[in-house]
Structure 1
Amino acid sequence: MAFVVQTDISPDNGSFLPTTDNRLIGSLRAETRRRLAMAATRIELNTGDVLTRAGEPIDRLVFPEGAPAMLSVSTGGSSQDVGLIGRDGVVGWSRLYSDQPTPFTARVHIQSGSAIEIPAAAVVNAADDDPELLKRILTFAQRFTMQMARTLASALRDVPERRIARLLLMIDDRIDGDTMSVTHASIAATLNLRRATVTDCLHILEGEHMVRCSRGRITMRDRAALQARAGLAYVAEDGLAPETPR
């Protein structure tokens, strides 16, 4: 379970404005950020923590800071990963235009880290008074929709090696540093591939000095080469704000 590491990030006075690594929150007007901070809590997340569960009401929105979240949908009794949300996004965005249960299960993926948790009602109320907040979240939702569409297209047309290269680049976009805590098994589950296929492809990428693989970790060595290998399967702003710095 997630646990609170800071119970109140609200301002002590009108001049103090809390900071966050979440770029969506950081892009908002100072007044709106202060308002959200009054209801917000910074939480610490561990790999595997569940942020939302499919079919359950959305009672909070979670803005990742350093712990990317993988969204999945249930299909015929099993689940399939469909998209990755990093620090420029938010989990639970659909609550702003519907009170329907979430269709996604969201779990912390790759590494532990912090996030900003805000009750859904507080975000909805703030969006009623600041249309720019709603616009920012819906813009993110559109980018995430495109990420899912490209994921589907890549699954239908691309060879496993290219799909793996795309996934590693997307993870690298959403974490600090060049080393990701990801296993062959987790890549296989995310991309619906055989583990042996993932291992063979990673051996090729490692042999060409694009990545370095160790137990439970993959380190990016030559991002440009990996991007060339991914080809059209990878779009730099896939689910990310185009202006996000690298």
Structure 2
Amino acid sequence: MAFAAMIDNSGDAGPVLPTTDNMLIGALRPEVRRLLARSATRIELQPGDILTRSGEPIDRLVFPEGAPAMLSLSTGGSSQDVGMIGRDGVVGWSRLFSDQPTPFTARAHIQPGTAIAIPATAIVAAADQDPALLKAILTFAQRFSMQMARTLASALRDVPERRIARLLLMIDDRITGDAMSVTHASIAATLNLRRATVTDCLHILEGEHMVRCSRGRIVMRDRAALEARASLAYVPDDGLAG
């Protein structure tokens, strides 16, 4: 869906990007939003939709609104999830550094939703004109790098139950409501755990009334208790930064 039917054309200043749940775009100055509105589109996403593919050029930057994106890295013929981007960030930020192909495959994850897609050339041109846009994207890139570092540290240090608690908290940070459309198999794949291990850990968390599990669905019941179980594996910077 193009923004042509959605943008605010009032006044003589030109179209402005509409209200969005994406915090990065929402924080931009009106002049920058007006500049980006000329080439922006709002796209519908379903879980599994590919936003970027490893080894391919980055021709657009995608700003998630309701559907979180999971980034994975291919090594040795296999793929491993390495980080999650929600409505606080953007997929394809490395295009501002160079025109090299992206190392990540990014796919919509957990639930359907929308995102704002803007051609990479438009973002690069706007960043050249407004250092604040470049700074905002670089700040997000730094936060995401820290998320990946913590993911690696957690994989090396933490027991599976704590890692699962961390993942559920990160998902909860990036969706609306308390219900997550995730399966034991998808959690196992994301964390590189055995499915049976995930099932055992979720039984424990459910028995302690932190979550409620059903087929393909996990509902958050006691977030504070889950944060306590995750302990230092989860920190606020892994969620939505203001």
> Structure 1 length as normaliser, TM-score?
0.94
CA distance in 1, matches of 2:162, 2:179: 19
CA distance in 2, matches of 1:15, 1:35: 9
Q: Comparing 129-138 with 6-15, which one deviates more in the overlay?
A: 6-15
Shift of 1:104: 0.2
Q: Is contact 2:174-2:239 (8 Å) kept?
A: no
Structure-1 residue corresponding to 2:162: 162
Structure-2 residue corresponding to 1:31: 31
Structure-2 residue corresponding to 1:135: 135
CA distance in 2, matches of 1:202, 1:172: 16
Q: Comparing 231-240 with 11-20, which one deviates more in the overlay?
A: 11-20
Structure-2 residue corresponding to 1:98: 98
> Is the aligned partner of 1:43 residue 2:46?
no
Superimposed CA distance per residue, residues 70-106 of structure 1 (whole angstroms, 9 cap, x where no aligned partner):
0000011000000000001000000011100000000
CA distance in 1, matches of 2:121, 2:218: 39
Q: Structure 2 stretches of 5 or more lacking a match?
A: none
Shift of 1:6: 3.7
Moved >6 Å (runs of 4+): none
Aligned pairs for 1:141-220 within 5 A: 141-220=141-220
Q: Is contact 1:85-1:239 (8 Å) kept?
A: no
Superimposed CA distance per residue, residues 156-175 of structure 1 (whole angstroms, 9 cap, x where no aligned partner):
00000000000000000000
Q: Comparing 98-107 with 10-19, which one deviates more in the overlay?
A: 10-19
> Is the aligned partner of 1:55 residue 2:55?
yes
RMSD: 1.1
Percent identity between matched residues is 81
CA distance in 2, matches of 1:199, 1:114: 31
Shift of 1:37: 1.1
Shift of 1:141: 0.2
* Residues 36, 106 of structure 1: alpha-carbon distance in 2 compared, 3 angstrom cutoff: same
> Is the aligned partner of 1:12 residue 2:15?
no
Shift of 1:42: 0.3
- What one-letter code is carried by the residue in structure 1 that aligns with 2:218? I
CA distance in 2, matches of 1:57, 1:200: 41
Aligned length: 238
Q: Is contact 2:42-2:114 (8 Å) kept?
A: yes
